[in-house]
Structure 1
Amino acid sequence: MFDNPFVEDALEHGPVPLYYQLEKHLRSRIAADEFAPGVPLPTEDQICKEYKVSRITVRRALEGLQRQGLIERRRGLGSFVLENRLGINSQLTGSLTEFLAKAGSLHTANLGLTEAAPSSAIRKQLELGPHESATLLRTIGLLDDMPVAYYEIWLPLDIGSKLPGEELDGHMPVIRLVERVAKARVTRAEQTIEPGHAGEEAATHLHIDAKTPILHVQRTYFAGDRPIELANVRYHPDRYRYAIELKG
């Protein structure tokens, strides 16, 4: 069922985490219709043997595919490819350096830096323990003194507790300060963009109604295998445009 001549050389040991390479490889096979919707994927043990990776690597890759809406994991039954009935999941790759350079055009205003209890979903994203607290940083992104984006940024406590509060106002992206504090370089980021509503807190700072439709962006930054920042961003609908250039 999993006889693929390219599997053996699919993954390489290097700066890109194995689970991310595996996730990308499985995603390409799903896109090529190798696995039919509703039919179980190979078991975790089968994937471990074929790709010569650990069970932890396989589970993290499958979790990534599940977050993207490509598969459904059923307890005791396995993982199944979902039929694409609810929309299109587009996977695009870009330069993190270029993205952060553009992000520096916004002026960041610090609204508060506190220790808080994250939700179970945020704990999972940051790989925190079940009772582990985290640092919550709330900021507003301004362009020409006009609010463009409202940020709720979650950080592991060992990193967030060391952030220099006096440097959180300015044009430097928060992740660059996080890199300095963590003494680690961001190697990649995962981002999802979905429609949503502003909500009371974001609406107050963006000067819009709480029920106003907005773009909700969730962005997770990784240093190696470790997630070091999770940012939930709500953008002002009249002051933010998301444009992508696709080259042939």
Structure 2
Amino acid sequence: MRLTGSLDEFLATAGALHLEVRSLQSLAASVPVAADLGVEVGAPVTWLELVSSLLEGPVIHLDIFFPDAVGREISEADISAGVPVARTVERVTGLRIVSARQVIQPALADARSASALGIAPDTPVLRLRRIYFTAEKQALELAVLTLHPDRYAYEIEFTANCAP
């Protein structure tokens, strides 16, 4: 099944969350990160770890990866509540994100995500893997989101085409 929606509308809703930067550092690309970003395994990438919260507490644990050329342009000061990281990437690189591919799967919270979300390790969660692309299909950002099971719901409304 394939669903299509507006990337601009989606990104506009991200501003309600409070962001806590936990880490911003360079590391070697793992096999899955390299494949998603289109870089060599072991190539330098930038890893940004965030926790997004509402008044009720943490909602999303994010591991975000950028190709080296993009990551070198981003500083902790660039990350702010109310501005989606993807929009920050556009601002600091001058490149426009025109599409994203997202996969949502069930998972068990690993120790880092569990600690960030205030849940027990191995708690069932939803995990989203989202890659943002330019018009030239260049991957600018890979975001891996682990969602709190009691504070995040994913809802889709389907409507029929009203063709005569």
Q: TM-score, normalised by structure 2?
A: 0.93
Structure 1's consecutive aligned runs of 4 or more residues displaced over 4 angstroms after TM superposition are none
Match of 1:115 in 2: 26
Deviation at 1:129, TM superposition (A): 2.1
Unaligned runs of 5+ residues in structure 2 are none
RMSD: 1.1
**For the pair shown, which has the larger CA radius of gyration, 1 or 2?**
1
Asked if 1:192 corresponds to 2:121, the answer is: no
Match of 1:153 in 2: 64
Give the secondary-structure state (helix, strand or coil) at the position aligned to 1:217: strand
Higher relative contact order (CA 8 A, sep 6+): 2
Deviation at 1:228, TM superposition (A): 0.4
In structure 1, C-alpha distance between the alignment counterparts of 2:25 and 2:15, rounded to whole Å: 24
Deviation at 1:200, TM superposition (A): 0.3
Match of 2:152 in 1: 240
Deviation at 1:118, TM superposition (A): 1.9
Instruction: Give the partner amino acid of 1:237.
Output: P
Give the secondary-structure state (helix, strand or coil) at the position aligned to 1:104: helix
CA displacement, residues 171-219 of structure 1 (integer Å, 9 cap, x when unaligned) = 2111111111221111100000000011000001100001100000000
Unaligned runs of 5+ residues in structure 1 are 1-89
Counterparts of 1:92-131 in structure 2 under 5 Å? 92-131=3-42
Equivalent pair of 1:203/1:209 in contact (CA under 8 Å): yes
Q: Aligned residues: percent identity?
A: 36
In structure 1, C-alpha distance between the alignment counterparts of 2:148 and 2:60, rounded to whole Å: 6
In structure 2, C-alpha distance between the alignment counterparts of 1:162 and 1:187, rounded to whole Å: 20
Counterparts of 1:7-18 in structure 2 under 5 Å? none
Which structure features the higher share of helix residues? 1
Q: TM-score, normalised by structure 1?
A: 0.62
In structure 2, C-alpha distance between the alignment counterparts of 1:116 and 1:183, rounded to whole Å: 24
